Chains A and B, each alone.
Chain A
């Protein structure tokens, strides 16, 4: 028995590699001439809230639809806890809770009826399903409206029903496609709070085009633009860039990057040799030193511009190129 037990133990120690619960592997999808997804890859690990950010039409929804098995990619694969969505879509769909972009619901149904139906699709029944439905109704704050038909609900409450729908089978991975669009500021805050609550011990991916939302809820950010991943980082790393200032300096004469290297990150601006962009923390002292260098080298200053770098501008900078 001891001999037998050993290999099993070894297996058990290897399992943590599956902890990375959602792995998107170089997805490509073309619609006609247009490449909707171009080698999209990222990983969302357990306990992580990943913000999937990008302008409208960048490929966020397409990526999510591929991840849930609703559309097939031209190439690439999605692994959920190590299981491929292409090879075993049924097993994967049991592990994923999905709120599609426009939150489709059966408007003629009562909330409980709807959740009961969805639970049935996931093979749940009887008392287990009943208690789960009541649990979700209180978790999603639907108690007051619980006896209404879905078409009688406001947008915020419909979104809650959509969230309850996504959670009914207690999935490990939750995919929410723009869960907060079209909500008023109060609803927005409540839904964000709710998302934060449900994300404990789960892998949650949330797509949005609103930067503040990512700041409010997410641990990690993946930015997609025109079907390509353009940034993928922890929020704090992106944030560490934020708060810095950029000085754009232009002179008549050509410049040498080395003259300014001790001040901060420096690069030529728009490939001109007479203009640089300088990223610094303290703009005031950097500006003084800069002017001194320009005087010392007897350069002719054309302009100095100062920009503040926040998440919003990082997003603009990344997605507008």
Chain B
């Protein structure tokens, strides 16, 4: 399993497209947090990184399917899937190795945003005047969102042998789970299910984390979605 994990991580960094994905991610976040007047922290005037946490899930819906789209689809297309499936690894370990590799890459992509935290801490007046708990709660929330999107991405990648199709499915399912459900709540027809839908949506649980309290039920929600998506991936693959 370790071999496959490292193969995936190395494949990402030995390829131009990997750096491109990371670069686009960091540049867009940098622009949103520091440059665009509507969202920039400097214009806002408060020692607060809210724009980072509001807009990163948007960027994630595109970035993460781009990382995960080739995980299974490309292997199927080139036939190397047969190499993995006929190795003693087993389906579970193949999926987990690819999943953990994706999560690692997302973690690596997020690490540079800690510099933003340091900057805002330094820019605060007095220095260090920032809601630390809220920042780290949100940051961990972002990691969870990333982990959930990664499981969705792996699932989408197992749906097809075309990377682009996997990419689009990944965006669609992530979008639906994060924004779609909350948007549906606002429909009049949906009012009887409003509470249920709200609690099913990713953004709801993400927002509770960003208050700075890591609650077990939120974590349980994220883990459930992840296990469900990876489980479904296994089912998809077994139906060969």
Contact = CB atoms under 8 A, between A and B. Distances in A.
> Are chains A and B native binding partners rather than an unrelated pairing?
yes
Interface of A: 65, 68-72, 89-91, 93-94, 96, 98, 100, 102, 104-108, 116-123, 165
B188 interface: no
Nearest to A107: B78
A117 B7 contact: yes
Interface of B: 2-4, 6-7, 11, 14-15, 78-90, 240
Determine chain B's interface SS by DSSP, over half rule.
Answer: helix
A70 B83 CA distance: 9
A90 B82 contact: no
Contacts of A165: 83
A119 to B, nearest CB: 8
Contacts of A121: 3-4, 83-84, 87-89
Given A122-B87, A123-B88, 15 more contacts: A65-B82, A69-B86, A90-B90, A93-B87, A100-B79, A104-B78, A104-B79, A106-B7, A117-B3, A117-B7, A120-B6, A121-B4, A121-B87, A121-B88, A122-B88
Given A71-B240, A106-B80, A93 B7 contact: no
A106 B79 CA distance: 10
A299 to B, nearest CB: 61
B86 A68 contact: yes
Contacts of A100: 79, 82-83, 86
Contact of A93 (B2, B4, B86, B240): B86
B11 A104 contact: no
A120 B87 CA distance: 10
27 contacts: A65-B82, A68-B86, A70-B240, A71-B240, A72-B240, A93-B86, A93-B88, A94-B88, A100-B79, A100-B83, A100-B86, A104-B81, A106-B7, A106-B11, A108-B14, A108-B15, A117-B4, A117-B7, A119-B3, A120-B2, A120-B7, A121-B3, A121-B4, A121-B83, A121-B89, A123-B88, A165-B83
A235 B208 CA distance: 73
A98 B82 CA distance: 10
A108 B88 contact: no
Nearest to A121: B87
B83 A104 contact: yes
B3 A120 contact: yes
Nearest to A65: B82
